[in-house]
């Protein structure tokens, strides 16, 4: 019985309130009489940050996200051209440049631009936000950062930071003659307006391969440039698509004083499908939060596609979900942020959301501008969003899943075909690939022009897997436009669909030969008629 009483007393003591326990212990509370709201001070000491703290700056950056941050700055400076240049010396990669033809950095702003954490006023629509972008991006990749700039007013400025010499945080000033030499290199673009220009140089880049083996250096450059172009093409696809921005990458060899060909970023639009995967979409769902109106533009892709716009870096399954844009710059490509779980059956579902700066704790972006963090109210807001007919997010997810199931059934039923090859516009090749399963391991069908001895429109060259078109009819088919390898996309696409199956099998059967003769007669007559009409006009 005593053991039971002890257990009860112990449990009772544990359940006593904090104040009661302190009173039982004899605590009177008189110590609080010394507490003061204001804290007195008797002087100050200077405590600059340890320079090694900068070693961790921007560590969430990869080279492609770091370069995107520098391109953001160029866009804010009204640049129309940006060139990223890898530099080789002695066979090794040694430096990297980012040059733009924006309005440059004025003398009164150059020092704040180089200050770690330096803040300035950002205009509405600016891509900059934290005052860390250039420094965090640069020091995440390189030991040395140098900025050369000519402002639109003609001011010449150069500043240099080195992580190896930051003991007193004094930034080096670069002589004007050297600044001019760097600015006046041939960057492959023209000056605009008053001729402003900014060049950022990285030295001691940690991620560069250290070998001088040409094959390994070339393999590294190929992989890295592809990764950079894909990332920039995705996050800045709106700028690239409307033609307000050109981004190019090249490689310079200082030993030979030559610069290689430029590779340009192409827009990779995650919503650029040829036709919708569901007749009710795209559809916009609206919701409000503390007076802020948020639009969810819901899309359904037509099916699993070979298009880079669908696959995206990381794969289509991981890229389903929400796409946040700020000032037309893509911050986040995929993920559901609590709305639902990633599911292969939802890989056709993508939602575009344009946001302003942080709104009432609803969301915020990370300094690398690669992710949006949503607040606890976001999922509830998304669930409450609806269109004029009352449709909500749940019904959209159901429709997207149903579209995926239908696309799977449709793709299983379609006959596999030989892939299109040279002579087809890339858009046509992607469109065919989106709709048609290809026969694995087979060479593609090329379609080319050449002069015939006869007036036939085409000839089937099964041995070389080529459909030849009679160059005699090329002006009539192409019209006034300039001919090229990928010209006449409509005619070539129709002929591919008509004649693709005659390239299959070991030999042509009697039916195949009869069909080819019939198509030849009809299409040649049509081509001759078009040729005569063109000559008459």
Nearest to 148 by CA among 199, 82, 78, 195: 199
Query: Are 77 and 177 contained in the same domain?
Result: yes
pLDDT of 471 over the 60 cut: yes
pLDDT tens track for 480-502: 666 788 899 999 999 999 999 99
Nearest to 208 by CA among 68, 327, 346, 91: 91
Which of 383, 411, 439 terminates a domain? The answer is 411
pLDDT at 17: 46
Q: Which three-class secondary structure state does DSSP give residue 476? A: helix
Q: How far apart are CA 187 and CA 74, in angstroms?
A: 14
In this structure, what CATH number is given to the domain that contains residue 178? 3.30.565
Nearest to 101 by CA among 78, 122, 84, 125: 78
Query: Are 174 and 63 contained in the same domain?
Result: yes
Structural domain contains residue 121: yes
* Number of domains into which the chain is organized: 3
pLDDT of 392 over the 90 cut: yes
Query: Are 256 and 129 contained in the same domain?
Result: yes
pLDDT tens track for 394-415: 999 999 999 999 888 766 667 8
By residue range, what is the domain housing residue 436?
Answer: 426-536
Query: Are 240 and 96 contained in the same domain?
Result: yes
Structural domain contains residue 82: yes
pLDDT tens track for 506-522: 888 899 999 999 999 99
Name the pLDDT band for 470 (thresholds 50, 70, 90): very high
Mean pLDDT along residues 95-102: 96
Name the pLDDT band for 99 (thresholds 50, 70, 90): very high
Query: Are 404 and 430 contained in the same domain?
Result: no
Burial 42-74 (b: 16+ CB within 10 A, else e): eeeeeeeeeeeebeebbeebbbbbbbbbbbbbb
Structural domain contains residue 16: no
Structural domain contains residue 489: yes
Q: How far apart are CA 220 and CA 210, in angstroms?
A: 10
pLDDT at 167: 61
pLDDT tens track for 32-59: 557 777 777 677 665 566 555 555 555 6
Structural domain contains residue 9: no
Structural domain contains residue 5: no
Q: How far apart are CA 312 and CA 235, in angstroms?
A: 11
Query: Are 75 and 200 contained in the same domain?
Result: yes
Query: Are 333 and 441 contained in the same domain?
Result: no
pLDDT of 374 over the 90 cut: no
Name the pLDDT band for 429 (thresholds 50, 70, 90): confident
Contact 469, 447 (CB under 8 A): yes
Structural domain contains residue 248: yes
> What is the four-CA torsion angle of 467, 471, 472, 478, rounded to 10 degrees?
100
Which of 214, 232, 264 terminates a domain? The answer is 264
pLDDT tens track for 135-175: 889 989 999 999 999 999 999 999 998 888 766 677 889 99
Q: What is the DSSP letter of 171?
A: P
Which of 264, 292, 319 terminates a domain? The answer is 264
pLDDT tens track for 164-219: 876 667 788 999 999 999 999 999 987 666 679 999 999 999 999 999 999 999 99
Sequential DSSP letters for 179-193: HHHHHTS--SS---T
Model confidence, pTM: 0.71
pLDDT at 14: 41
Structural domain contains residue 328: yes
Query: Are 453 and 318 contained in the same domain?
Result: no
For residue 188, the number of C-alpha atoms closer than 13 Å in the C-beta half-sphere is 22
pLDDT of 537 over the 80 cut: no
CA 404 to chain CA centroid, Å, is 25
Query: Are 288 and 195 contained in the same domain?
Result: no
Nearest to 455 by CA among 532, 511, 536, 533: 532
Query: Are 199 and 58 contained in the same domain?
Result: yes
Name the pLDDT band for 23 (thresholds 50, 70, 90): very low
Question: Tokens in use for 388?
Answer: 């004029």
Query: Are 170 and 73 contained in the same domain?
Result: yes
Q: What angle do CA 426, 243, 247 make, to 5 degrees?
A: 80
pLDDT at 371: 73
pLDDT tens track for 216-258: 999 999 999 999 999 999 999 999 999 999 999 999 999 999 9
Name the pLDDT band for 379 (thresholds 50, 70, 90): confident
Query: Are 385 and 443 contained in the same domain?
Result: no
Q: How far apart are CA 338 and CA 372, in angstroms?
A: 13
Mean pLDDT of the chain: 85
CA 310 to chain CA centroid, Å, is 12
% of the chain surpassing 70 pLDDT = 82
């Amino acid at each position: 019985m005593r053991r039971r009483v002890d257990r009860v007393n112990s449990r009772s003591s544990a359940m006593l309130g904090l104040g009661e326990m302190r009173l039982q212990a004899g605590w009177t509370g008189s110590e609080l009489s010394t507490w003061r709201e204001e804290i007195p001070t008797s002087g100050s000491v200077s405590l600059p940050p340890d320079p090694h703290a900068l070693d961790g700056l921007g560590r969430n950056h990869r080279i492609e996200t770091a370069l995107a941050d520098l391109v953001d700055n160029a866009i804010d400076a009204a640049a129309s051209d940006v060139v990223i240049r890898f530099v080789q010396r002695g066979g090794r990669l040694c430096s990297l440049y980012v040059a733009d033809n924006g309005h440059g950095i004025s003398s009164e702003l150059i020092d704040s631009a180089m200050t770690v954490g330096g803040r300035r006023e950002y205009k509405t629509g600016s891509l900059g936000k934290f005052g860390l972008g250039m420094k965090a991006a640069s020091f995440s990749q390189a030991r040395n950062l140098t900025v050369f700039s000519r402002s639109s007013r003609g001011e010449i400025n150069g500043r240099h930071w080195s992580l190896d010499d930051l003991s007193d945080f004094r930034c080096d000033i670069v002589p004007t003659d050297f600044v001019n030499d760097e600015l006046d290199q041939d960057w492959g673009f023209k000056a605009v307006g008053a001729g402003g220009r900014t060049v950022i140089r990285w030295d001691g880049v940690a991620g560069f391969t250290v070998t001088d083996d040409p094959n390994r250096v070339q393999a590294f450059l190929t992989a890295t440039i592809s990764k950079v172009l894909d990332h920039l093409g995705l996050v800045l696809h709106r700028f690239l698509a409307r033609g307000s921005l050109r981004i190019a990458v090249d490689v310079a060899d200082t030993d030979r004083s030559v610069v290689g060909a430029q590779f340009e970023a192409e827009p990779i639009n995650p919503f650029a499908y040829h036709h919708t995967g569901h007749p009710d979409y795209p559809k916009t769902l609206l919701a409000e939060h503390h007076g802020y109106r948020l639009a969810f533009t819901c899309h359904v892709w037509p099916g699993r596609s070979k298009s880079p716009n669908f696959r995206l870096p990381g794969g289509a399954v991981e890229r389903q979900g929400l796409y946040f844009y700020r000032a037309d710059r893509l911050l986040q490509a995929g993920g559901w942020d609590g709305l639902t779980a990633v599911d292969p059956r939802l890989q056709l579902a993508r939602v575009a959301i344009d946001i302003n700066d942080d709104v009432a704790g609803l969301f915020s972006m990370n300094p690398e501008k690669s992710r949006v963090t949503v607040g606890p109210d976001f999922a509830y807001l998304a669930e409450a969003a609806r269109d004029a007919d009352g449709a909500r997010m749940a019904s959209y997810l159901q429709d997207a899943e149903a579209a995926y199931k239908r696309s799977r059934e449709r793709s299983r039923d379609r006959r596999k075909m030989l892939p299109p090859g040279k002579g087809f516009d890339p858009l046509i090749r992607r469109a065919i690939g989106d709709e048609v399963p290809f026969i694995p391991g087979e060479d593609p069908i090329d379609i080319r022009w050449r002069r015939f001895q006869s007036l036939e429109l085409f000839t089937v060259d099964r041995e070389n897997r080529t459909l030849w078109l009679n160059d005699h009819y090329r002006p009539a088919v192409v019209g006034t436009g300039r001919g090229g390898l990928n010209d006449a996309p409509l005619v070539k696409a129709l002929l591919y669909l008509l004649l693709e199956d005659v390239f299959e099998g070991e030999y042509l059967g009697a039916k195949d030969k009869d069909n080819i003769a019939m198509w030849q007669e009809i299409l040649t007559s049509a081509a001759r008629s078009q040729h005569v009409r063109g000559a008459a006009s």
